[in-house]
Amino acid sequence: MEGSTKFTAVVTDGGKAALVEQEKRPLQEGEVLIRVEASPVNPSDRYMAAGAYGVKKLMSEGPQGLGFDGSGVVIEAHESVDSSLVGKTVSFFEDPHIKGYQGSWRQFLYKKSTDILVFDEGVKPIDCFGTFVNPMTALAIIDFTKKNGHKALVHAAAASNLGKMLVKVAKNEGIPLINIVRRTEQVEALENIGAEHVLNSTSETFEEDLEKLAETLNVTAFFDPIGADFTAKVLDRLPNGSTAYIYGGLGGAPISIGGTSFIFFNKKVQGLWLGPWLDSLTTAEREAVYQQVIDDLSKGGEIFGSKVLETYPITKFKEAINAAEGVASDGKLVINPQLS
């Protein structure tokens, strides 16, 4: 396949995702060619495949690639690039609001050598396929917490891949965290990885328990990947002046929240999106967060590693999308475009 002039990629157009054949092209100044070997199926990929990802308005018309996160091996470097990169395991982020977006669900990816994370020998693509989307957002949540002066936070859908990372990052930072889940097994799963405060939203006393614990821990920030009517359910129970940071739409409906929260209780609602947060960092800050994730994944991924449930060839990407939602709390389904 490496010698062939064509390769397979997934594109989506008007909510219809399909495999296409693409032509290889010569490398441009500063670029490397990556043989993609692992890419997770994240909720954002599912939305994107269905033509329902919120960033659609920022993207150009026509077919778009699929896949945000991924990893692989550099197989070629432009003459302007350090040739020692060839053979290295690297990871990358395909950000759909940035020009040149290709998507990671493809056999080969062209990338600026300055836009990849490089791993030491011994780290395989399957060890580092998820370096950006969830690890960096977990770190963004901590950054928003600190920069906005919050002393403690509450997080929902906390048995997610990202939620498990956040449990460990918050603990290391000494920031109290209330985790909200919706199933008993999820309470146990989080307690098993060291979570101190886990509430089940299906419990009859959920709202009262949340209010008491939030007051005790001085929680004034809610990081919310659900939206719909869940935002108000939590925000209403937090102290006056608290903020909900919306970063996902798992609830599948617009946020509904009464005006009294804003008028009388000075509550706030704002968004959190990874790409602009990364852009907002200084170069030194960005390098520090990248290094934190590289160091952890290079040592086995205690904090930012993801459990791989199953690997799919690119030809079965639709099966992977369909299966991912039902197993989300257990681990990630991964696409390896090199498998036939």
Ligand X SMILES: NC(=O)c1ccc[n+]([C@@H]2O[C@H](COP(=O)([O-])OP(=O)(O)OC[C@H]3O[C@@H](n4cnc5c(N)ncnc54)[C@H](OP(=O)(O)O)[C@@H]3O)[C@@H](O)[C@H]2O)c1
Residues that bind ligand X (CB under 6 A): 42-44, 133-134, 137, 157, 159-162, 182-183, 225-226, 247-248, 250-251, 272-274, 328-329
Pair 190, 198: CB distance under 8 Å? yes
| 264 CB neighbour count, 10 Å cutoff | 10
Name the minimum Å distance from CB 322 to ligand X.
14
Name the minimum Å distance from CB 113 to ligand X.
25
Name the minimum Å distance from CB 279 to ligand X.
12
Minimum CB distance to ligand X smaller for 44 or for 336: 44
Minimum CB distance to ligand X smaller for 81 or for 159: 159
Name the minimum Å distance from CB 138 to ligand X.
9
Residue whose structure tokens are 């903020």: 243
- Give the DSSP H/E element, type plus range, for residue 277: helix 274-280
Name the minimum Å distance from CB 5 to ligand X.
35
Minimum CB distance to ligand X smaller for 73 or for 167: 167
Name the minimum Å distance from CB 271 to ligand X.
7
Name the minimum Å distance from CB 281 to ligand X.
14
User: What is the distance between the alpha carbons of residues 117 and 100, in angstroms, rounded to a whole number?
Assistant: 18
On the 0-12 / 13-18 / 19+ scale of CB atoms within 10 A, 25 is: exposed
Name the minimum Å distance from CB 176 to ligand X.
21
Pair 255, 231: CB distance under 8 Å? yes
Q: Give the residue at shortest CB distance from ligand X.
A: 248
The dihedral formed by the CA atoms of 142, 247, 68 and 120, expressed in degrees to the nearest 10: 10
Minimum CB distance to ligand X smaller for 7 or for 230: 230
Write out the DSSP string of 27-73: PPTTEEEEEEEEEE--HHHHHHHTT--GGGGGSPSS-EE--SEEEEE
Both tokens of 225, joined, read: 């990947």
Minimum CB distance to ligand X smaller for 25 or for 183: 183
3 state SS for 166-233:
HHHHHHHHCCCEEEEECCHHHHHHHHHCCCCEEEECCCCCHHHHHHHHHHHHCEEEEEECCCCCHHHH
Minimum CB distance to ligand X smaller for 91 or for 107: 91
Q: Are strands 89-93 and 152-155 parallel, antiparallel or unpaired?
A: unpaired
The dihedral formed by the CA atoms of 68, 72, 78 and 80, expressed in degrees to the nearest 10: 80
Minimum CB distance to ligand X smaller for 101 or for 273: 273
Minimum CB distance to ligand X smaller for 106 or for 182: 182
